């Protein structure tokens, strides 16, 4: 849940939708007791947390088809670069 709050900070619509989705997903698997299946599900949770922390970047629309990305050091690639601006064509 903290990764979700970090990724969608300031976006109340996404925070609400993601909270609902997380709770729904966890509720769907509450009866699973198989250790191997649970480990597989927890690995999926770890992947999702990593994606939310490092691969989701918020953007602010600055004009028709132009966005400024709100990047932080956690978004740096393995080369150390951080994406800057994004324009759609």
**pLDDT string in tens for the chain (89-residue length):** 789 998 888 889 999 999 999 999 999 999 999 999 999 999 999 999 988 888 887 888 888 888 888 777 777 765 555 555 444 44
> What is the SS3 assignment for 11?
coil
Residues 20 and 52 in one domain: yes
d(CA 41, CA 26): 10
Residue-range definition of the domain harbouring residue 41: 1-56
Residues 1, 37: one domain?
Answer: yes
Looking at the fold, whether 8 and 47 belong to one and the same domain comes out as: yes
Q: Check residue 89 and give its pLDDT.
A: 40
- Tokens (6 digits) for 81: 């670069």
> In terms of domains, do 14 and 44 share one?
yes
Q: Which of 78, 80, 61 is nearest to 69 (CA)?
A: 61
Within 10 Å of residue 16's Cβ, how many Cβ atoms?
11
Estimate the share of the chain in helix, then strand, then coil, as percent rounded to the nearest 5: 50, 15, 35
Q: pTM here? A: 0.65
Q: Are residues 32 and 64 in the same domain?
A: no
- Residues 9, 36, single domain; the answer is yes
């Amino acid at each position: 849940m903290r990764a979700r709050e970090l990724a969608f900070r300031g976006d109340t619509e996404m925070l609400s939708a993601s909270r609902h989705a997380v709770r729904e997903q966890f509720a769907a698997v509450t009866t699973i007791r198989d250790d191997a299946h649970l480990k597989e599900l927890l690995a999926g949770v770890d992947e999702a947390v990593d994606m939310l922390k490092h691969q989701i970047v918020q953007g602010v629309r600055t004009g028709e088809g132009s966005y400024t990305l709100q990047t932080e050091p956690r978004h740096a690639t393995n080369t150390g670069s951080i994406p800057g601006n994004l324009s759609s064509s």
